Structure 1
Amino acid sequence: MQRRTFLAGATGAAISAAASSQAPARPGGVAAAGKVVAHTSSGRVAGQRSGSLAIFRGVPYAQPPVGALRFASPRPPVPWSGVRDATSFAAPSYQLILPGGSEDSLYANVWTPDTEGKRPVLVYIHGGGWLLGAGSEPTYDGARLAERGDLVVVTFNYRLGPFGFGHHEELADPVTGSNANWGLQDQAALLRWVKRNAGAFGGDPDNITLVGTSAGGASTWQLGILPELRGIVRRMVPISPCHVWNPANTLTPEDARTVYRTMARRLDTTVRGLRSVSPAELQRVWESVFAGSPTARIVRSGREYRGPVRGGRWLPEFEYQAPNPRIPVFSIHADTEGSFYTAPGAPVPDPRPAPANDAELHDCVHAFLDKGAVRVTNAQVDACVSAYRAAAVADGLPTDPLSIWTEVWGDGLFRYQIVRLAERHARHGRTPFYAMEFAHPVRPPYFGTPHEATSPFLFGTNGIPGNVAKFGDGPLERRISGVFMDLVANFAWTGVPRASGAPALPLFDPQLPSTMILGGETVARIATTPKLRQLRFWDSAGWVPRP
């Protein structure tokens, strides 16, 4: 295959600075000088040239889900005449964190080396716990990745929180019959839009690689195995996915019904009437339902996050129950996922100080386990702490309370299912599966390699003002970022993650050294997956499901 040679050389969504957001651009006249026009299935859009790239911002992939379309399946954009300006980001989806949020947010952003050609398309799903974030955040600027990898890079917004992830039969769409998981439906609609329009931006509609981090990583997996999207997603790169399971990070259907009935009652309306209340009131009441300790709420599920609800066509099974992916997978996780929550600047600060002794560690671990179980006993907490401390001693890892708490956090919500799903695929899967651990340490006062440390290096935005103090931008960081981009870009081009600055990565085999460790002075090496001993606790704990 002829392709150009690569050049040499998140912060979490909750705390990234918002990009400048404006109201979605409206159709206009002919493109002005210095702009570039693409012909989409709904009409022409005018982006702008920046160096060697053409950039399109705020391109509609669905109708605004407002009024009667709140809680409806996404509809194709209404065609327009003339040339629509696509040089400004759309507003983020409505949320509490990023300013300027709007329900009118279903827009895509595209970075391309040229609107002519047939390059792989990399679609990125932002994270944020299904509650916050936007494809326009500076960390996810696709310019460096598009240029270095010769890719078409697409980011986008999808519905969040009460607008995006819930379930109630009285909210059934009269056209599609769907009554849940509107944000997941948005993501599927975006993929169909990309399939139809990739050629307009110089992309190959038959070569779409789906990438996402955290909640977006879980979505990547969910969409990658969804039968109705077979033939659209060719490869997938789930990064630190927060795989969905009850009761930790999704509502049961019954609890979702209870939540929407409760919101309707508190707003003096019906469930159907929730379409008419202001987004601010809807968000406020949703937040009030989930305020405080998960042990004191009106529902028992959705204890940490409220992701997609199981059931129906959009999430027929949780990931741990579903069949192995039928497409190639490049699975990535961070070395210290939990330090995203236990280090300074955590997106949702824990009310407890970092544990300094065993009594405080016991309280912190108990509070964490409350996020994923309706009832937690002191004996279970003691067993968890003992198992992790024994594993740390055996592996020569730190045994202080903060380190133990951090590892419990990261494994329970992220790393356990990530690693066990990789092992399951190695045993039973029939498609290529590669594994990588990102292990480049952040700078003090932060520590470890936290959840979402991957995004700034994948996009080459580790050196921007909002990221550089935490992630650094020296020669080593630039080299690691370049290797990361090359691995993912080559996977999108060929199905094999490779880079000139890294050893060849074999297919994942839990019995052999087959995980790439990226980060640190060595840059990249092949090893067995680290810290396997501490994962054994969860195999029999009955807390997180084993795939």
Structure 2
Amino acid sequence: MTDSQETARPVVTTTHGAVRGVRSDGGLCFAGIPFAAPPVGGLRLRPPVPAAPWTGVRDASRFPPAPAQHTGITPEIEALGPHAVGVARALGAADGEFSEDCLYLNVWTPDVDGRLPVLMWIYGGAFESGTASPPSFDGAALSLLTGAVVVAANYRVGALGWLHPTGPGSERWTASANLGLQDQAAALRWIHDNADRFGGDPGNVTVAGASAGAFSVGALLALPDAKGLFHKAILQSGSVTRVQSPDIARALTESFLSAVGVKSLDELATAPLGRILDAQSSVVDSDVGRRNLPGGRIWGVVHDGTVLPARPLDAVGAGAAVGIPLLIGANRDEIHMWAELGGAGYRLADEDALTAEMNRAGVADPAALLEAYRVRLRGAAPRPGRPEAAPPDELRDLRTLFLSDAVYRVPSARLARAQVAAGGTAHTYLLSAEPFGAGTGAFHGAETFYLGDRLAALDIDTPDNRATREQLATAWRRFLRTADPGWPTHDPAAPPTGTTRLIGPDPRDIHEPPLDIAAHWDLGT
């Protein structure tokens, strides 16, 4: 690089030292900035501590490795083509380098001299995978579409980020619950201290995430260490209900320690990383229903009582987020892609198995809800008496309708109602667009193709997809600036059209969940 090229690269002085970024895609990018010390050696399984300051100018042109995880973009996925790779990344798969030394963030900004809204992005990946860096996440596109300073931070995933302290000597590790959540709060503190140096407004910070990232946002609403560090929140395909009880989290961690071959967290602190990664995958439920319904074994947020004192839904209901406007989105066919990819393993044995899943989700009258889904699926009037057993494909589709509601759409409605009942504001939307055309559904992660501006790259740059991109980007852009995405605040009693915005080929206001389904769920207030 010549002296003139080096001089042309922007330099920003953070609270820890100076960083030199690069010009990229109509803006500026500063990659791989440490916001906490490397969580390795004696800091493995410990809460994040401040990064060490440095002298001189640190190069910020190279993206950091993803947190330690098994790669999600396998040769088999790559062989299926760019659409399959795009879907895998939309579901949280990452590729490239991985490292325990991962607590770095990336900043994309239109102008370091501005005072723009700040969006902190939290990636998804079932709390087991994900990254804050391209190609899985490209903050440049989101910054251009929203006009915001976008900050994406790595956080620890899998057991290293979400185990629950248990076993001999666990009293010395009490502060090590919800480490991934604590990493996210540490990144928010960095943003609070440094946003203005990158053209952002530290008084207008929105924390946003999808899937596990959205469930993280829901937990941050109740996290004492995050209080006052953000001012608005966007939850896409996630809410506040995907929280493990201490008992289930403890049992999962005990199984994990046994699988690693250690008896305590003290021993785990020096265990080989490969054994940790293999073990953490072996002790969780693999089926999308079992892992996400109450009692499922999966890594993620734990109501531990210390780091996270209250269950997030209870905290929101008690007013914890009254001063934080919420934008809550879901996709119409959240589980569709898992049903397609799951094959025979996704299909339940019979209708009784689906009824058992509904009972597990707390449905009061599973038979009535099943019939409501059957009517929607078949487009027919209800039949008196017990209907005939569903054929295999219909049973699969009935389960997909149910799980889409149970895991994503109904919890999103519960969060909106709790926020409004407590005196806060919430706006809700439902994505109905099918990025790959009829038959694919508005699947989990579909929004990333629009907010990440991936239409041309995936050869899906159609008029309908461009219109959806504009609808979604406009809503996020307005919300970041004004807390108003452009439609009425959520009101579950609003007749006759509802107050949830349908985003896609037929934009309008709807009831969410639809009235024929909502009647069978306990949606709270």
Report 1:215-254 matches (<5 A). Answer: 215-241=212-238, 243-245=240-242, 250=244, 252-254=245-247
Q: CA deviation at 1:293?
A: 7.5
Percent of counterpart pairs with the same letter? Answer: 30
Cα drift, residue 52 of structure 1 = 2.7
Q: Deviations over 1:231-264 (max 9, x none)?
A: 211111111105435xxx63x3234334444444
1:527 corresponds to 2:501: no
Contact 1:63-1:77 within 8 A present in 2 as well: yes
Call closer, same or farther: CA 1:292–1:110 in 2, change over 3 Å: closer
1:496 alignment partner, one of 459, 480, 484: 484
Give the whole-Å Cα distance in 2 for the aligned partners of 1:317 and 1:111. 34
Q: How does 1:97-108 map to 2 (within 5 A)?
A: 97=72, 98-99=94-95, 100-108=97-105
Kept in 2, the 8 Å contact 1:71–1:171? The answer is no
Change (3 A) 1:263 1:334: closer
Which residue number corresponds to residue 417 of structure 2? 423
Counterpart of 1:537? 520
The residue that corresponds to 1:52 in the other structure is 26
The one-letter amino acid paired with 2:43 is: L
String of CA shifts for 1:432-460, please: whole Å, max 9, x gaps: 21111111123258522112111221232
Match of residue 491 from structure 2: 509
Shift of 1:104: 0.8
Counterpart pick for 1:150 among 147, 154, 160 = 147
The alignment's C-alpha RMSD in Å is 3.3
Whichever residue aligns with residue 412 of structure 1, its letter is A
Tell me the secondary structure at the aligned position of residue 10 of structure 2.
strand
1:474 aligned to which of 440, 447, 462: 462
302-311 or 259-268, larger mean C-alpha shift: 259-268
- Unpaired runs of 5+ residues, structure 1, are 1-28, 499-504, 540-544
Which TM-score applies when normalising by structure 1?
0.79
Q: 1:204 to 1:261 in 2, by over 3 A?
A: same
Tell me the equivalent position of 1:32: 6
Helix, strand or coil: the match of 2:405?
Answer: helix
The aligned counterpart of 2:137 is 140
Give the TM-score, by structure 2 length. 0.82
Q: Is 1:91 equivalent to 2:65 in the alignment?
A: yes
> In structure 2, the residue corresponding to 1:238 is in which secondary structure?
strand
Residue aligned with 2:98, SS:
coil
Q: Which residue number corresponds to residue 444 of structure 2?
A: 451
Q: Per the alignment, in what secondary structure is the counterpart of residue 428 of structure 2?
A: strand
Q: Which residue of 1 aligns with 2:430?
A: 437
SS in 2 for 1:365: helix
Cα distance in 1 between the residues matched to 2:344 and 2:272: 31
Deviations 1:78-117 (A, max 9, x none): 1111111111111111112334321111111111011112
1:42 matches 2:16: yes
What amino acid is the match of 1:534? I
Residue 528 and residue 222 in structure 1: after superposition, are their counterparts in 2 closer, same or farther (change >3 A)?
same
CA deviation after TM superposition for structure 1 residue 70, in Å: 1.0
Contact 2:45–2:160, Cα closer than 8 Å, also in 1: yes
Contact 2:132–2:152, Cα closer than 8 Å, also in 1? yes
Offset of 1:50 from its aligned partner?
A: 1.9
SS at match of 1:90: coil
Q: State the match for 1:321 in structure 2.
A: 314
2:271 corresponding residue in structure 1: 277
| Cα distance between partner residues in 2 of 1:217 and 1:292 | 21
Residue 127 (structure 1) aligns with:
124
| 1:386 matched to 2:371 | yes
| CA contact 1:45–1:84 (8 Å) conserved in 2 | yes
Give me the whole-angstrom Cα distance separating, in 2, the residues matched to 1:510 and 1:54.
42
- Residue 393 of structure 1 deviates from its aligned partner by 6.1
SS at match of 1:315: coil
Q: Which has the higher helix share?
A: 2
Unpaired runs of at least 5, structure 2: 73-93, 383-389
Distance 1:32 1:125, change over 3 A: same
Please give the per-residue CA displacement for 1:159-180, whole angstroms capped at 9, x wherever unaligned. Answer: 0110011211545667xx5130
CA distance in 2, matches of 1:367, 1:350: 21
State the secondary structure of the residue aligned to 1:128.
coil
Whether 1:340 aligns to 2:334 is: no
Equivalent residue number for residue 88 of structure 2: none
Q: Determine if contact 2:346/2:396 at 8 Å carries over to the other structure.
A: no
Match for residue 404 of structure 2 among 400, 403, 410:
410
Query: For residue 69 of structure 1, what is the amino acid of its counterpart?
Result: L
In the superposition, relative to structure 1, how do residues 145 and 295 fare at CA in structure 2: closer, same or farther (>3 Å)?
closer
Name the structure 2 match of 1:15.
none
Picking from 192, 213, 222, the partner of 2:189 is 192
The match for 2:471 is: 483
1:352 to 342, 345, 357: 345
